[in-house]
Structures are given as structure tokens and as C-alpha cells.
Structure 1
Amino acid sequence: MRNLNQHTITDAVIDRFADTPDPRLKQILTSLVRHLHDFAREVELTEAEWMKGIEFLTATGQKCDATRQEFILLSDTLGLSMLTVALNHDKPAGATEATVFGPFHVEGAPHYENGGDVGNGASGEPCMVRGTVRSLDGTPIPGARLEVWQADSEGFYDVQRDALDHAQGRGVLEADAQGRFHFRSVLPVAYPIPDDGTVGEMLRATRRHPWRPAHLHFMVTALGFETLVTHIFRKGDAYLDSDAVFGVRESLLGDWRLQADGTYLLDFDLVLNPTRVTTARAASAPRELSQVA
């Protein structure tokens, strides 16, 4: 097709996807092109502005490495990460809500027994975290796998410290036979997301701050249940209502209480949602079998 203009080019581009064998890919690309073109028309995008956008995206990619994911930060600060979480992890009443994954999870965290010191030398005031992993009906989930990670008292994750040769503030442990878990760590504090890259430029240009309220990350997995990725946020934090990545949910607020020995204590249960497969099997099971169970 020749002689395309601002009114006809969108359909021409979409027509080029007609033979895409993957229907989901075709749907996504078609919608992406339509929305991108509508955006350009709506704001009357200039060539200079679009080149600036390309330079911004290029610099964002160049900022990424094995321990820094600038595109995740960009997605987080634009609310897109939290939107996809909300779209894909709608939980029934009573289940612990999900929130953003964040850019600082890494594979290969050390394993700890219950009661272990996950802080492992991280700076900060000492704390104990304990709770029970259970299902919606209150049944404990023995052996649930919990992965936790957090920043230290200076607001840095271990992967942000070049001189550190071991993991700090992160670890993996399993719930006991009663679904209980407990571990030692350090009190989480509010911290700014890295703002020395393109995301920081965007925040400053729009008069936004880079701060996240104090929180502790959890990823919980158990056979027959949906994987839970969430945070527990400290009650009373100054940034709960202006989290730079829009991740706060009221149900995820936890109270780290100061104890007589100077240690902080957080009690928080984690409630997992059964997988759809498990739910479907349970619904189709014979009445006699379900009664026995």
C-alpha cells in the first residue's frame, strides 16, 4: 500500500500482522500498534519528541545489568507493574494480597532453618518475623517454601553493594509441620529507588519523589496453591500513601512492635489461594470422597 497518511497508516500496519500464527501475539501487537498510533495523534507527537523518547528507552536499556533492571523500575513507577499484578492476581476475600515483584530479587538465596538470621550481617535494628502459612479455610500448609528479601538500614539491598561477597537480608526457609515460620533479620526502613538513571530523570522532571515505604518481600510457594509474591509494609511509614511504585495495600500493613529486649517483632500470617486446578478437582470429586477428606 502506498501514499499512506496519518489516517490510513494504522490499519495498514495492522494488516501486516494478518498471517501471525500465534493468535495471542497477533492480538497484543494489533492492540499495541493501535494504541501507540492513537497516542501519537492525540498528543500530536513531534519527530524531535519521538527521538527523545527513543533516546530515553535506549538509555534505560543501557542502565540494565545483572543486578539492576531499569525497565522494571520504569514499569513500577508508571504503575504498569501494579496494574498487571491487579489484573492477574485478584484474590478471594481472606487471601493475602499480591503486590509488585520489584527489581532486587535474585536466584540462589541461601537456605535457613526456622529461627535463622536472614539478615546475615546486614545493618539495622534487630527484629524477629513469625507467622503461619495457611489456606483460606485456616488449615496450616506444612513445608511451604518462603523466600524473603529486604533492604538494610541504609536502604540498600545486598546486590547493590559491589564489595559484598555474600547474601544479606535475603534467604529461603520452609514452614514447619504446623505451617509456622520464624526468622531473624533487621527492621525494614523506607528507602529511595535508584534514581541515578532514566527513571530518576523522569521522576525529577515530574516533581515526584523516589521513596518506597519500609517493607519486607515475600515469595511463598506450596503444592496446590498459587504462588504469592507480596510485601509486608510497616504501619505508620511516611510514604504509605505516596509509594513511588504504587504497591501499598491496606491489608499488607504489619506492626513491628518493639520488645523489652530492644528487638522488634512482626507477627503476620500468610494465606494462600488454591490453584484453579486444585479447586476444579475438589469441585468434581465424589461427595463420599470429599466427606472422608
Structure 2
Amino acid sequence: MDTRTTAVEKGSRFLNEENSVATVNGRMGAEVSPRMKLVMSGVVKHLHALTKEIEPTHEEWQQAIDFLTAVGHKCTDWRQEFILLSDILGVSMLVEIINSRRPSGATENTVLGPFYLPEAPRYRNGTNICLDGKGEPLIVKGKVTDLDGNPIPGALVDVWQTNNDGFYDVQQKDVQPDWNLRGVFAAEWDGSYWYRSTKPRFYPIPDDGPVGQLLGRLGRHPNRAAHIHFIVSAPGYDPVITHIFPDDCPYLGEDTVFGVRETLISKFQEVRSSQDAKGLGLGDLEERFPYFFVNWNFVLTPSVT
């Protein structure tokens, strides 16, 4: 038997370039859970493969350590720089895709983002959640159903977005009203929901930290495609964490966090007159023109127990 091959497969007490993965992974204790063993074995395997591929100098290795340290220092109660790093590397989106495989026709997930707040105010359908009065008025209207088109009464539609200046309320605590452009609505008996808001616009992710500097060095812009966030949930169904994206946004194909999915691109229609409103089935929901309207339905799937 080739003793050199055996050493590479089983590892050694002493690490070298050839046996590094087996040696490190061989140090795990016998009581380590199977999942922990799988995860850490994979991390070590791919980290060592990357190191051998790029052969970093000592100075480059230290730069990487300094970068990750800076990322940690930038984190606060209202900002998670590690989430931003995961986002711009496409990892956050890949994790969403892997963990939300659903049948055709079901609403697809996308990234949660770092600015979700639980316990947003509960409102009646039709409430205007734009508290700062900025931007182009918007009506969002639709239904929550199952895969067969049956309504899901009482489903909760939790919504949040930036204001017209491109900031979430938590980013401007002394500027925007608390809970600006956030709210939770319950679907009616026929699964319908609707509310008033403002047309979303594209905006840059926070780029004044190490992640923004990395984007610059990669020749990438920091802009997210315009979107509205939703979490839609109901007892007995998988919750959906998703967005809708206006089809006229110039950044749909280059969203900096890779969050756009083709099935989530929506038509935001401009309503200029009462005749337009009647043609869209809006009646006299809004008396002032012009405004925008988007019809968006959510399709949930049963929970797997």
C-alpha cells in the first residue's frame, strides 16, 4: 500500500501542504454531531482549497484579517455589515433559494435584508403607510391564495420599504417618522388585501464601510433594484419572504445583492384619470391623480410537518 496516499487520506499529527484538510478535520472529536461534522469538514475543505489555489502572501492574509475585523467593527444594533458582505457575494440569495424550493406557481422567496423590524403596526386595509408624504402615491392591491387559487382569509401581509430618498426609517431615526412605510395587513374573507404607499425607487446599500470599499475595488456599484419587501404568512402555510420589483427599474439585471427573481418583477401602472381607475377596477379608491397601481397576488404552499 502507498503509505503516502494513506497519510493524505487519514491525515497526520503534523500538517503539511498535501494532508492539510485530512489533518485538520481529523482533529474533530468523536462526539461531534453529524451536521456539525459535515459543515466544518466542508468549510475546511474549501477554505484550504482556496488557499492553495490563490497562494496568498503573508501581507494578503493580514489584509483579509484586517478586512473581516473592520466588517465586525462596523456592525451596530441597526446595521449588520456581515449580512451586507453575504449579500454582495450572492451567498444570502443562494441560501434563500436553497431553503425555499417550492412547486411551480408558488411565490418565490428572496433575501430578507438587514432592515426588517418585527411588530410593525397592524392596519386596516386601505391605510396609507407613507407617513412622510414623500414620493409618488401608490396603491398596492392583490390576493393571498393557495396553489389551487383558494383564498386564505386572515393571512398576514407584513410590508416595508425605503422612502423616496432611499432610506429605511431605522436609518434616519431623527428624520423619518417611526414605522414610516411599514405595516401589517390581514387578508379579507376573499383573500384580498390593499394599502396605500409610495412607488419604490432604487437605492444604494450602505457603502461607507468595508463592504462598500470592497464593491469599489471590484468595480461594482452599490445599488439595489427598486423593490417593496413582504413577509406573507398564515397558519398551516410556509411563510414567504419576498419582494416585488417595478419593471421600469434600470437595475433589475444588476441588483447588487442578486435579489431579483424574474417571477417577482411587476407592472406598476400609472393612473392618470377616473377613466383609468375604472378600467383597472379601482373605482374611486383614490381621488387625486396621477398615482401608481400594482396588482400583486401571493401564492402560499402548505407547511411540511
User: Would you say same fold, with TM above 0.5?
Assistant: yes
Q: Is the 8 A contact 2:169 2:177 kept in 1?
A: no
Q: Is the 8 A contact 1:224 1:274 kept in 2?
A: yes
Unaligned stretches of 5+ in structure 1? 278-293
C-alpha separation between the residues in 2 aligned to 1:254 and 1:37?
43
In structure 2, the residue matched to 1:179 is 191
Query: What amino acid is aligned across from residue 139 of structure 2 in structure 1?
Result: M
2:17 counterpart SS class: coil
1:188 aligns with 2:216: no
Deviation of the 1:234 alpha carbon: 0.4
In structure 1, the residue matched to 2:4 is none
Give the structure-1-normalised TM-score. 0.91
Deviation of the 1:120 alpha carbon: 2.1
1:230 aligns with 2:216: no
Q: Number of paired residues?
A: 277
Cα deviation code 1:73-131 (max 9, x no counterpart): 11110000111111111121111111111111112211111111122225211111010
Cα deviation code 1:133-182 (max 9, x no counterpart): 00000000000011101011111111100304511011111111111100
Cα deviation code 1:9-47 (max 9, x no counterpart): 321210111424321011101110111111100111222
What is the aligned counterpart of 2:292 among 245, 264, 283?
264
What is the aligned counterpart of 1:98 among 109, 116, 123?
109
Deviation of the 1:239 alpha carbon: 0.4
> For residues 122 and 39 of structure 1, do their structure 2 counterparts lie closer, same or farther at Cα, with a shift above 3 Å needed?
farther
Identity %: 45
C-alpha separation between the residues in 1 aligned to 2:62 and 2:133?
43
In structure 2, the residue matched to 1:123 is 134
1:158 aligns with 2:169: yes
Q: Is the 8 A contact 1:115 1:182 kept in 2?
A: yes
In structure 2, the residue matched to 1:275 is 303
1:211 aligns with 2:239: no
Q: Which runs of 4+ in 1 moved over 3 A?
A: none
Give the structure-2-normalised TM-score. 0.88
> For residues 55 and 134 of structure 1, do their structure 2 counterparts lie closer, same or farther at Cα, with a shift above 3 Å needed?
same
Q: Is the 8 A contact 1:148 1:170 kept in 2?
A: yes
RMSD: 1.3
In structure 1, the residue matched to 2:93 is 82
1:199 aligns with 2:199: no
1:30 aligns with 2:17: no
In structure 1, the residue matched to 2:282 is none
In structure 2, the residue matched to 1:19 is 30
1:173 counterpart SS class: strand
Q: Is the 8 A contact 1:214 1:234 kept in 2?
A: yes
